[in-house]
């Protein structure tokens, strides 16, 4: 088959998020509004006879780090040349970067064959959680953006100012934080998704702060399902999920093409997103 590989435009982001929903990944209602602006050149589609039949994202945060996601090919075009073509274009777009991705478990060997190494697993948990407001919680919007960005930089492989500015302003979302003596000790965001709500990121200095943020954010779900993606090696994060009877429902393998970033995984209680890291 002859395929045309090209960059996607803003309107074509609907293919990415709709297909992600069809695959059961449960994207946020407004994720595309943030994702595309982070790197407009990083969204790639494959066409056959003028119809989009495959997609991949290769978002460059800067010259040092990028993330691959939305790697989806329509069923009738799987096991053809399309998937490798999309992957090659994505890798070329991120030719200088250490690349991260969250792949489904049964594809780990395929990613290893093109140079990625497994760092750890992320586990998605779901539950209806009775939220609880805390007097220690303040809206994240009350803090200067530079302070938020400085704290976020501790938990991500590189600065993501463009992404974070858009992410924290998404419709149907709330972001809260906890400060002690004017020091930011943790923050989290909850957003409406195709099904229920997702909390991510959820970064905190310790178990107690993470739990306090989780309960305060859960109030916003008003009894609907909440989804939380926890790095499996964060044992305190897994304990919190189990404490609130959250059920494991999905998972991904976090992999990198070069070195593993030096970030405190034990303080990441909720991954921002599987699509952009």
Which CATH fold topology does 124-270 show?
Aminopeptidase (3.40.630)
pLDDT in tens, 32-68: 989 999 999 999 999 999 999 999 999 999 999 999 9
For domain 4-119, give the CATH number.
3.40.630.30
Domain range summary for the chain, segments of one domain joined by +: 4-119, 124-270
pLDDT in tens, 149-183: 999 999 999 999 999 999 999 999 999 999 999 89
pLDDT in tens, 195-247: 999 999 999 999 999 999 999 999 999 999 999 999 999 999 999 999 999 99
pTM above 0.85, yes or no: yes
Q: What is the DSSP string of the chain?
A: ---EEEE--GGGHHHHHHHHHHTT---BTTHHHHHHHH-TTSEEEEEETTEEEEEEEEEESSSSEEEEEEEEE-GGGTTSSHHHHHHHHHHHHTTTSEEEEEE-GGGHHHHHHTT-EEEEEEEEEEEE------TTEEEGGGS-HHHHHHHHTTTSSS--HHHHHHHTT-TTEEEEEEEETTEEEEEEEEEEBSSSEEEEEEEESSHHHHHHHHHHHHGGGTTSEEEEEEETT-HHHHHHHHHTTPEEEEEEEEEESSPPP---GGGEEE-S-TTT-
């Amino acid at each position: 088959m002859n395929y045309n590989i090209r960059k996607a435009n803003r309107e074509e982001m609907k293919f990415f998020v709709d297909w992600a929903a069809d695959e059961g990944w449960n994207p946020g209602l407004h994720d595309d509004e943030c994702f595309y602006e982070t790197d407009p050149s990083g969204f790639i589609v494959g066409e056959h006879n003028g119809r989009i039949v495959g997609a991949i994202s290769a978002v460059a945060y800067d010259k040092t780090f990028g993330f691959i996601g939305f790697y989806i090919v329509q069923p009738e075009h799987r096991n053809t040349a399309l998937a490798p073509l999309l992957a090659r274009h994505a890798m070329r777009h991120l030719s200088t970067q250490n690349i991260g991705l969250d792949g489904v478990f049964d594809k780990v060997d395929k990613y290893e064959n093109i140079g990625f190494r497994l760092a750890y697993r992320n586990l998605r948990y779901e539950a209806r959680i009775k939220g609880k407001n805390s007097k220690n919680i303040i809206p994240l919007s009350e803090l200067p953006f530079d302070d938020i960005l400085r704290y976020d930089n501790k938990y991500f492989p590189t600065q993501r100012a463009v992404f974070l500015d858009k992410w924290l302003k998404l419709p149907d979302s709330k972001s809260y934080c906890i400060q002690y003596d004017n020091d930011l000790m943790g923050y989290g965001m909850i957003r409406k998704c195709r099904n229920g709500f997702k909390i991510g990121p959820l970064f905190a200095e310790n178990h107690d702060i993470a739990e306090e943020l989780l309960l305060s954010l859960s109030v916003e779900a008003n009894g609907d399902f909440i989804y939380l993606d926890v790095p499996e090696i964060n044992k305190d994060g897994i304990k919190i999920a189990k404490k609130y009877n959250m059920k494991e429902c999905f998972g991904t393998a976090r992999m990198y093409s070069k070195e593993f970033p030096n970030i405190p995984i034990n303080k990441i209680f909720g991954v921002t997103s599987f699509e952009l890291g």
